[in-house]
A and B are shown apart, each in its own frame.
Chain A
Amino acid sequence: MKHTHSHIPLLIFAIVVTLVVGALYGYMFQMTEVSVSHASLARDIVVGEENGQAQSKSLSTLADATSADRARLNSFFVSSDTAVNFITNLESLGTQSGSVLSIASIDTDVSAGAAPGIIGHIHAHLSAHGSWASVMRLLDFTENMPYATSVSHVQLSSNNSSIKSASLWSITFDVQSLLIVSAASSTTM
């Protein structure tokens, strides 16, 4: 009985083709997976960049919208080179309020030769006397000075301790304003 073996090469060929196609499929699958992963990563980067651009735009819009107001912020500070104006303004409050005002002391916590832009305080101790209305006006005017000013240690007393209405009042208080060292000059206060 004669056996024919012509089917063996075909079988080997079929196995080889199956293995090659399988390997090719695996390779393609791997490549596709990597590409999809890269594309997904790139899309995330694009989304991140878009968000960043939107934030930058809103930041610029905010900066533009507030630029005028932000420019005014420094006007709330007493500049070191215009501290004399501040003192003059304080003194003028006495006349404006109708009280007799004296500045008992004035000093600052900013050292001489401080770098421009350094923020500190200028302190003044004020005392005044006059009618009730005038000393209250003085307190009101001081609290509403066009500087970042705070008032503390307010003491009001009348010179009349009788049951009748007091006519003359004395007031003492401390005033503290924000001071900024200007670029034009360093403070020598």
Chain B
Amino acid sequence: MIGVGSLFPAYIFAVLEEHSHLDQVAAFQKTVDASSITTTQKELSQSASTLDTISKTLESDLFYSTIRAVVALKGNVTLTSFAVEHPTTKVMSIIISGIAPTRADLLSFKSRLQGISNKATVDLPLSTLAQDIHVTFSIQVTEVLP
């Protein structure tokens, strides 16, 4: 009987606790407007998607800065044309043509281009170096962007 009596308060407490929590749940459910939350979630999701689309479009706007960076390295080499491509978001390719006063100037220009980044490859055809002065050249620089 003592055991039964000692379980009774625990039983009463558990029942009251359960009712209290259920009342709280009912109160929460009254205050929550599920439709407005869903609408807000949809709006935010749509905005995130739009932002992602815009960001992807803007990722490729590197041409001006790339050409300016190359021109800054030209030294006494005359540049006559550029062909710049951004085939993927991670790769930038630029073909630079021009005339170098001497072979040494051209090699110097090439080494300056190589210094742009350790992920840049600079391709200068060997045949270009046949001339000693007034060297007409075409260099291809491919850079893997960070």
Contacts and interface: CB of A to CB of B under 8 A. Distances in A.
A24 to B, nearest CB: 5
A178 B40 contact: no
Contacts, number: 149
B25 A49 contact: yes
B37 A56 contact: yes
A62 B44 CA distance: 9
B111 interface: no
Contacts of B60: 150-152
- Taking chain A's interface residues, is the majority helix, strand, or loop, or is none over half, making it mixed? helix
Nearest to B39: A63
Interface in A35-52: 35-36, 38-39, 42-43, 45-46, 49-50, 52
Interface residues of B, number: 52
Interface of B: 1, 3-4, 7-8, 10-11, 14-15, 17-18, 21-22, 24-25, 28-29, 31-32, 37, 40-41, 43-44, 47, 50-51, 53-54, 57-61, 63-64, 67-68, 78-86, 97, 99, 101, 134, 136
Interface of A: 21, 24-25, 28-29, 31-32, 35-36, 38-39, 42-43, 45-46, 49-50, 52-53, 56, 59-60, 62-63, 66, 70, 73-74, 76, 119, 136, 139-140, 143-144, 148-158, 160-166, 173, 176-178
